Amino acid sequence: MSEHQHGSGRCLELAERLSEFVDGELPEPLRIEIEQHNDECTKCKKFVESLRRVRDLAHLLPRPELAQERLRRISEAARRRLES
Ligand SMILES: [Zn+2]
């Protein structure tokens, strides 16, 4: 089964949920779907990696709300890159 759904539509849809994915807050079916998508899609995989990195850094910061803000900005920038 290899439905290679390329095109940023799918990526954008998933990108909406990637920060929850990184936080482990997604329900199982969606989580698996994203994992499978990331096996085929380098763009989304890289996106998740950068979100993870920022999230890990966030734990080290004294001001979590600033990290949240930065995380949001990075994820927006990444999403914009997916769109182009
Ligand atoms: Zn993708």
Asked if residues 22 and 35 have their Cβ atoms less than 8 Å apart, the reply is: no
CA of 37 to the centre of ligand 1 (A): 6
- At residue 76 the predicted structure's pLDDT band, cuts being 50, 70 and 90, is confident
Alpha carbons 35 and 43: distance in angstroms, whole number: 13
**pLDDT of 22-56, one tens digit each?**
989 999 999 999 999 999 999 899 989 988 888 88
**Domain map of the chain by residue range?**
9-83
CA of 80 to the centre of ligand 1 (A): 13
CA of 62 to the centre of ligand 1 (A): 33
pTM for the whole structure: 0.65
User: Quick one: DSSP state of residue 51?
Assistant: H
Asked if residues 58 and 71 have their Cβ atoms less than 8 Å apart, the reply is: yes
Angle formed by the axes of helices 28-40 and 42-58, nearest 10°: 120
